[in-house]
Structure 1
Amino acid sequence: MKTNYDKNYYVVKAEDMKAEYNEQGFAMTELLPGVYDGGIRSFKCFLKAGSTVKPELFADKGVILFFGKGEGALTDQDGVHPITELAFYVPNFDAYNYEVYAHEDMEFIFNIIEFNQWDKQTYDSWHIRLPYFRLHSECVQYIQSCKGPHTEARMVLCPKWFGRVILGTTRANGEGTVEKGHPAVHQWNYCVGSSDFKMSVGYKEKNNMETVNHKAGDWSFIPAGADHDLVSDPGKEVYYVWFEHYTNEKEFIQD
């Protein structure tokens, strides 16, 4: 697993994610390829209105989808799940096919997660029922000291629900998250809604924080350890999906 990075954060802007559609109206491009070799690859997907895609299935890898833009529907063995807002889906590996239909132009993130022996051991011991579909409004809210008093945070996947990943959201106007670096997890951020906020990353005690503006559709990666603030100015929105991966699988399984 990669542990030394030459930057405190990595960003790909929405305007730089090029969609090359196939004949079925679907496009897929990898996000920040080669930056992280710890077992997760993420792709931005685009689906034109009226089009359908059946995502690839994996027997030995986990998949998590974030539906960030556009309305549609996901159909699996449980039925039809309307996608009318930010939504999340975890398929049951390769047990069943599923498909996504776009009522309007859609964008979503497709994450592929390697399951090593520690992930498998945790999963075999206890996990959520799959497939798992949730609209954002159905996810439970949580309170965290690093977030502003009017910041809404929701939990999508709790620790050990699905291997070594955890997943949630943060949304606010004029505030957000001011967080000390966490060496236990790497973090990705997917900006949604009307996002227009500043992300500052570095080490405050070294006075080396770097700042980048984030808007809807952007994607960023913060290696484990760095301090990070994700905050909007008054009248502007900070709204992002945070996606984390534990760095030490042995300690994770033993906790």
Structure 2
Amino acid sequence: MKPVLRWLMWVLLAGVALQLFFVLRIALMVVIDPQSTAFMRSEAWRIGTTSLRDDKKHWRWSQRWVDGDQISTNLKRAVIASEDAGFLEHGGVDWAAIESAWRKNARRQQQAAQRKTPSPRAPKVIGGSTITQQLAKNLLLSGERQMLRKGQELVLALMLETFLSKERILEIYLNSVEWGEGVFGAEAAAQRYFKKPASKLSAHEAARLAVMLPSPKFFETRQGSAYLAGRTSTIVARMGAVGLP
């Protein structure tokens, strides 16, 4: 029993040390802008290795940090309206949204299992993640879909909300979120799609970028899709009712 207990103790200490490391990293973000995220680094590695294997594929990377006051309020409102309407109210985790997503996913799984002709596609999974959770995942975690990683994401979201203001969370999120292949942050996205700085985005342009966020690589090559146009109009209509931190 002693070797087992000793092993469990080391596992526990390692877990505590990891959480303290995360606390320190997040606390530093109060005054230090994170210039990259775990997801950015993994994408840089993937794009770089792909470019080396494929002579026809050229390296493309665009990301530049800008302060929050250099990002259009239109984009801030559009992203909240599209991604997390309760951003100002929740404490990092929207438990009601998670429960709703859980029920919808279970229903879709059940419907897929009852089909006489199985679909070649797996049913779409709805996440229910808040902006804070998405930031926690991109900043510090791998992209693997595991229950343990999801649990750590929830803990990190609560840490972010404890140490950082809503305004700071939104600023870091908008500077680090992916908007296409090798395109990260609001400034890079505004230049990539509209040839202008993030501070000059109109309501329609901002809404269009916000709608891309769940699947940026997909919409990057489908800028003329009917869904993108229709969803953009919906977000523009919602933006007027969105408050900012």
Q: TM-score, normalised by structure 1?
A: 0.25
**Higher helix proportion (structure 1 or 2):** 2
Comparing both chains, which one has the higher relative contact order based on Cα–Cα distances under 8 Å and sequence gaps of 6 or more? 2
**Higher strand proportion (structure 1 or 2):** 1
Structure exhibiting the larger radius of gyration computed from Cα positions? 2
